[in-house]
Structure 1
Amino acid sequence: MYATVHQFRRATAGESDGWGPALAADLHHDPAPLGGCVLGQVAGVHGAAVAFWPDAAAAAEASAHTATGPTWLDTDVFDVVQAEFAPGAPRYAQATWFAGPRDAARVRAESFAGTQRVWPAARQVPGAGPVFVLRGADGAALVLGFAESVTAIEAIQRAVLATELLPGEDLALLTGPDRIDLHRVFHDALPADVTLGGTR
């Protein structure tokens, strides 16, 4: 599975109550994606429209889509390399960005940390929701973590920071994110089942 992420600047003055679902439908209507969400910054004007696709060709085609309303910024295509599910309703999201290029050793280290240490700690927190790890062709990554509340996101952060490195982990390869955004979820049609990778 692949994902497109369209970043945008919101036109808040003209937004209706249902602007999130309307934007998702206008942006990707033919063909429709396998799922997705629309995010808007808490106390900010930026947002992101995320959509999931069965293969790289569909994602590449969808990356050229635009819709009326917001000011469109960067658009990226990612491979979905990890998907985890917890029962918390996806009302808020933390978008954690790791800029590329990232070499193979760093990518392996981040993947190991995410699956073996970070997610086992995060999923225990009440209110935790699904997590999708997206990886770009140059090793760049976007981690989308969903939760029921900002309080739950803060609790997840504390739980993760309290973990200790596992045997074999190298702190020098785990330099941390380049950017973290806190979003409200304005549209949620996240896939309940994910096939990692896909057909290029």
Structure 2
Amino acid sequence: MHIQIISFDGPRSSEVVEASSRAGRDRIAPLIEADPDLRAQLLGGFRGVGPDGAECVVILARDAAALDSLERLVVTSELLPGEDPTLLHRPSRVDRYDTSESFGHLAELLAGVQS
């Protein structure tokens, strides 16, 4: 299993945070849903936003190729009507890791997935 952590440093305005949320929810998630192969390779993820608007997106995938496919999908997707490109910032950092172990209840949920 592979992990990608995408970080957006704060401070970020509420408008930038909402634009990021909308992009993920209304543009990127439907594109993933429309691609059965990518959907099968991506296990899910988490998005966290700090009080200063900093954001962290953690994505779990079966392999690194899925993360590469997701990146291509995101950077080549057309903006939706009303999306303001000036509010969509590039990440501060993108880090990738191979999973060495999982623990707690998450380990039980992912038991059949880790390789």
**TM category, shorter:** 0.7 to 0.9
Superposition pairs for residues 3-42 of structure 1, below 5 Å?
Answer: none
1:115–1:130 distance in 2 versus 1, CA, 3 Å = same
How far has the Cα of 1:190 moved from its partner?
6.4
Post-superposition CA distance 1:88-120 (Å, at most 9, x none): xxx101100000001111011111001111122
Distance in 2 of aligned mates of 1:139 and 1:187: 30
RMSD: 1.7
Q: Say which one has the larger Rg.
A: 1
SS in 2 for 1:187: coil
1:138–1:191 distance in 2 versus 1, CA, 3 Å = farther
Aligned residues: 102
Q: 2:31 aligns with which of 118, 121, 134?
A: 121
1:130–1:190 distance in 2 versus 1, CA, 3 Å = farther
1:150 — aligned with what? 64
The TM-score normalised by the length of structure 2 is: 0.81
2:21 — aligned with what? 111
How far has the Cα of 1:191 moved from its partner?
9.2
- List runs of 5+ in structure 2 lacking aligned partners: 110-115
The TM-score normalised by the length of structure 1 is: 0.48
1:23 — aligned with what? none
1:130 — aligned with what? 44
| More strand, by proportion | 1
Distance in 2 of aligned mates of 1:162 and 1:191: 35
Superposition pairs for residues 65-144 of structure 1, below 5 Å?
Answer: 91-123=1-33, 124=35, 125=38, 126-144=40-58
Where relative contact order (Cα < 8 A, 6+ residues apart) is larger, the structure is 2
1:145–1:172 distance in 2 versus 1, CA, 3 Å = same
Instruction: Give the percent of matched residue pairs that are identical in Structure 1 and Structure 2.
Output: 33
2:80 — aligned with what? 166
Distance in 2 of aligned mates of 1:190 and 1:154: 24
